[in-house]
């Protein structure tokens, strides 16, 4: 009898980040200078930070 793997049993919780201006922060992947960069960007004011928690 095979059980479900540990990874399939975990629940996925997504976290919503918001900017002080009231917009929602989304992660974007950009390719520049030969490398991939992940950036967090507010959809309302277009402010960019390195990670979502930097918007506080």
Please give the chain's pLDDT, 56 residues, in tens.
567 777 776 666 667 888 888 889 999 998 989 999 999 999 899 999 998 888 88
pLDDT at 32: 87
pLDDT at 17: 86
Q: Which of 11, 6, 27, 18 is nearest to 45 (CA)?
A: 18
Residues with Cβ within 8 Å of residue 36, at least 6 apart in sequence: 29, 30
pLDDT at 41: 92
The pTM (predicted TM-score) of the whole model is 0.61
């Amino acid at each position: 009898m095979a059980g479900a793997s540990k990874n399939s049993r975990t629940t996925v919780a997504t976290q919503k980040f918001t900017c002080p201006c009231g917009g929602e922060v989304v992660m974007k992947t950009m390719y520049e200078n030969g490398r991939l960069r992940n950036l967090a960007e507010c959809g309302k004011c277009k402010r960019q930070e390195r990670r979502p928690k930097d918007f506080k």
